[in-house]
């Protein structure tokens, strides 16, 4: 695996199926339920972004150490 390849995921059919299931579920939400879900999604996205930033920095550090070791 080349450097950075891990950051380019390829979703499989099971992921597409799950997205379609979620899309159909969302279509039945009323406005209040949709707003509540959107707020939780915003919170989740923020947490995931912080985790991914930290993980990306750590992986870059480890890759650099490995490259310098060779």
- Please answer whether residues 56 and 7 qualify as being in contact, where contact means their C-beta atoms are separated by less than 8 angstroms: yes
Q: Over the stretch 23-60, which tens digit does the pLDDT of each residue have? A: 999 999 999 999 999 999 999 999 999 999 999 899 89
Cα–Cα distance between 57 and 64 in angstroms, integer?
11
Higher pLDDT, 5 or 28: 28
- Name the one residue in this structure whose structure tokens are 């923020």: 46
pTM beyond 0.95: no
- Please answer whether residues 59 and 6 qualify as being in contact, where contact means their C-beta atoms are separated by less than 8 angstroms: yes
């Amino acid at each position: 695996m080349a450097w950075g390849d891990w950051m380019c995921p390829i979703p499989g059919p099971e992921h597409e199926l799950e997205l379609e299931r979620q899309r159909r579920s969302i279509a039945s939400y009323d406005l209040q339920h949709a707003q509540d879900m959107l707020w939780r999604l915003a919170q989740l996205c923020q947490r995931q972004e912080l985790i991914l930033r930290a993980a990306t920095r750590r992986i870059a550090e480890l890759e650099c150490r490995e490259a310098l070791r060779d």
